[in-house]
């Protein structure tokens, strides 16, 4: 299947709530990988609902694994360390319409190019709001804030600089990354240990074909309803719209989107970029004419959008997060 066919397949699955997927345990998702549990006990909002890890293997092309994960009762960070770390770190948030996580395409593949540049990657397997949690709209943000704090708390163990931690999110994971960038100071869970005294603010945010707004005509309704519920109020939708949350504390942001994105309209990135400019926040926006949705790092090299990792790395280098050498590799 071509990359341009992926959005249709992905959109169909986002809209097919309750689809039964092939079962697999956590060890089959990240065999041998270092993992960090986010919560020492039950996560916030636990209702006792039975949540079972499930994996849907979408792989069609040899050498291009494509697994989608659901049933995340115990959220974790999957740590991918580079051979020659440079002290920078990135919290990676896969997308999936808040209904699943695109683990390979928007998790492992992203960690690979970051590691090649000397950057330590932390893939966040965050909880999905529709799987039986109280305060569903806050569940992914709770995990994102906690993840950022745990990364900083373990900086010496991970060999990173706690002042050089970025977040990189894709599609609905881009909405989560944008929410972390704009709501890092909001208390969304009760502190559980000393790590929760640390800042949850990312030093830089990268958002790829992100879901941004929950109120405008160009919102992605599947992500909105998965996050907020199908009968959400206008106030709840405004509260979850990233472009309405930008303020003077929002970190520098890099955005990339394709004009032919048939799932999440490019207007999402345009609206956020406009809000960032209006607030005087550092931002860079790359809009490409073709590439569709969900392309990750798998576009053919001849397609202009394939260059986005280098653009992101250079933006991060100019902001002091990546060394110049890492940006040029």
pLDDT tens, residue order, the chain (329 aa): 333 344 434 444 333 333 333 333 333 576 678 999 999 999 999 999 999 999 999 888 887 889 999 999 999 999 999 999 999 999 999 999 999 999 999 999 999 999 999 999 999 999 999 999 999 999 999 999 999 999 999 999 999 999 999 999 999 999 999 999 999 999 999 999 999 999 999 999 999 999 999 998 999 999 999 999 999 999 999 999 999 999 999 999 999 999 999 999 999 999 999 999 999 999 999 999 999 999 999 899 999 999 999 999 999 999 999 998 778 77
What is residue 39's predicted lDDT score, i.e. its pLDDT? Answer: 98
Query: Given this model, what pLDDT does residue 11 score?
Result: 42
Which pLDDT score, from 0 to 100, does residue 326 have?
78
Nearest residue to 169 (alpha-carbon basis) of 271, 107, 92: 92
pLDDT recorded at residue 205? 98
- 3-state DSSP assignment of residue 232: coil
Q: Using CA atoms, how far apart are residues 38 and 58, in angstroms rounded to an integer? A: 27
Handedness of CA 307, 265, 110, 59 (dihedral sign): negative
3-state secondary structure of 78: strand
CB-based burial label for 18 (10 Å; 0-12, 13-18, 19+): exposed
- Per the listing, tokens 């806050």 go with 138
3-state SS, residue 9: helix
The one-character DSSP state at 23 is B
Query: Residue 217 belongs to what domain range?
Result: 3-15+24-328
Closest CA to 33 of 99, 102, 115, 97: 115
Give the residue carrying structure tokens 């994105």.
261
Neighbouring-strand partners of residue 101: 69
Question: Which CATH number do you get for residue 91?
Answer: 3.40.50.1820
Q: Where are the beta strands (DSSP E) in the chain?
A: 34-37, 54-57, 67-70, 76-80, 89-93, 101-102, 120-125, 165-170, 204-208, 253-258, 283-288
Q: What is the pLDDT of residue 156?
A: 98
Contact 126, 102 (CB under 8 A): no
C-alpha closest to that of 139 among 179, 167, 166:
179
Q: What is the pLDDT of residue 1?
A: 36
* Structural contact between residues 217 and 180, judged by C-beta atoms closer than 8 angstroms: no
Domain tally, the chain: 1
Can you read off the two tokens belonging to residue 203?
A: 């030093």
**What is the residue-wise DSSP string for 216-228?**
STT--HHHHHHHH
């Amino acid at each position: 299947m071509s990359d341009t066919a992926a959005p249709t397949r992905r959109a169909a699955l986002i809209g097919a709530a309750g689809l039964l997927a092939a079962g697999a345990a956590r060890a089959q998702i990240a065999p041998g990988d270092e993992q960090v549990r986010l919560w020492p006990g039950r996560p916030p909002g636990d209702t006792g609902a039975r949540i079972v890890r499930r994996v849907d293997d979408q792989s069609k092309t040899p050498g291009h694994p494509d697994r989608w994960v659901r049933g995340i009762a115990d959220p974790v960070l999957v740590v991918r360390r580079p051979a020659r770390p440079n002290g920078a770190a990135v919290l990676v948030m896969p997308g999936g319409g808040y209904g699943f996580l695109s683990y390979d395409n928007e998790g492992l593949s992203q960690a690979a190019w970051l590691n090649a540049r000397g950057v330590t990657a932390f893939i966040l397997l965050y909880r999905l709001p529709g799987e039986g949690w109280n305060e569903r709209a806050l569940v992914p943000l709770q995990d994102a804030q906690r993840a950022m704090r745990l990364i900083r708390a373990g900086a010496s163990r991970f060999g990173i600089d706690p002042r050089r931690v970025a977040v990189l999110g894709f599609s609905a994971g881009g909405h989560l990354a944008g929410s972390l960038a704009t709501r890092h100071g909001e208390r969304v869970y009760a502190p559980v240990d000393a790590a929760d005294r640390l800042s949850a603010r990312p030093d830089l945010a990268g958002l790829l074909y992100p879901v941004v707004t929950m109120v405008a005509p160009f919102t992605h309704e599947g992500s909105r309803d998965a996050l907020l519920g199908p009968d959400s109020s206008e106030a709840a939708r405004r509260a979850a719209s990233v472009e309405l949350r930008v303020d003077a504390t929002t970190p520098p942001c890099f955005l990339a989107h394709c004009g032919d994105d048939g799932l999440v309209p490019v207007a999402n990135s345009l609206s956020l970029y406009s809000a960032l400019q209006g607030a005087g926040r550092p931002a860079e926006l790359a809009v490409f004419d073709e590439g569709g949705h969900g392309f990750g790092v798998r576009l053919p090299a001849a397609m202009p959008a394939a260059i986005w990792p280098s653009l992101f790395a250079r933006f991060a280098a100019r902001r002091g997060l990546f060394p110049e050498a890492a940006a040029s590799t």
